[in-house]
Amino acid sequence: MRKLILALFVAAATAAIIAPLALAGGNSDTAHACQQGGWQNLARQDGTGFDNQDECVSYGAHGGRLITKPKVTPGSENFSAYDAGSQPTTFSWGTVDSADYAPGASTPNGGTGGSILVSGPYFNAFSTGATHFLFTGWNVNTAKVTFNNPVQDLQVEAMSNKTDIATHLTLTGYDTSGHVVAVDSGLDAGYNTVPLHIHSSSANIKYFTVSTDDPNNGGQSYGLGFSNIVWS
């Protein structure tokens, strides 16, 4: 009986030693690929990158398949190629999704991502000289834009509709799972555009929203406009 107990103890101890070794050996290729900066060029199966080497190694150790990170083609959009009044929702680089309902609003902005307008008395010209911008419409305080491939760096210029109302404008980046990646905000004092900028070290900004905290006075909010989107 004593010999049986001893044998079982030895077997259990041996298994405890072998299991980690087997795991390490099974993931040695993954660990090696992540080392010496390799993690910066690798991504998860959904295309999102890693913040550091440990994340990369852990992902592989838990059965994740590493892929080469999709190459981000730097680009920009100032909507100048679109006619005033048009409502494009699909672009070569991504889509503008239907905007969210604003507080107190009964309908979204016609089910579209917004209308192209030209700078006028309520919207001053944007800083780089672009006169075209996408306007969410009245009662819509948020616009959502999705990239075909995740990006690392993003800049957007935004402005509230009415020039005599001070509002905060916010740019929020999300990954493919809907988790917030980065946030930036600024004050539109009533007469200026606001440059907004976010960055992700793991290049996993899949979509972003631009929003305003327009106070929605009397059940009416005035929406926002944005242009000069630059990404890399």
The string of pLDDT tens digits covering residues 75-127 is 999 998 999 888 888 999 999 975 554 444 444 444 456 888 887 666 766 76
pLDDT exceeds 90 at position 173? yes
CA-angle at 90, arms to 88 and 93, nearest 5°? 125
Q: Report in angstroms the alpha-carbon separations of 210 from 69, 155, 174.
A: 26, 11, 12
pLDDT exceeds 50 at position 19? no
Q: Can you read off the two tokens belonging to residue 201?
A: 């070290």
What are the pLDDT digits (tens) for 179-197? 999 999 999 887 778 999 9
According to the model, what pLDDT value does residue 231 have?
Answer: 98
Q: How far apart are CA 117 and CA 126, in angstroms?
A: 12
- Split at pLDDT 50, 70, 90, the class of 23 is very low
Phi-psi region of 106 (alpha: psi -120 to 50; beta: other; left: phi over 0): alpha
Percent helix, strand and coil across the chain, each rounded to 5?
Answer: 20, 35, 45
| Cα–Cα nearest to 126, from 224, 226, 232, 231 | 226
Amino acid in the structure at residue 181: V
- Higher-pLDDT residue of 182 and 1 is 182
According to the model, what pLDDT value does residue 29 have?
Answer: 73
Q: How far apart are CA 142 and CA 144, in angstroms?
A: 7
What are the pLDDT digits (tens) for 31-81? 788 988 888 888 888 777 787 889 899 888 888 889 887 777 899 999 989
- Higher-pLDDT residue of 74 and 204 is 74
Q: How far apart are CA 95 and CA 149, in angstroms?
A: 11
Q: Are 156 and 166 in contact (CB under 8 A)?
A: no
Domains in the chain, please, with CATH?
A: 2-68 (no CATH), 75-231 (2.60.120)
- Split at pLDDT 50, 70, 90, the class of 198 is very high
What are the pLDDT digits (tens) for 136-146? 888 788 889 99
- Higher-pLDDT residue of 11 and 191 is 191
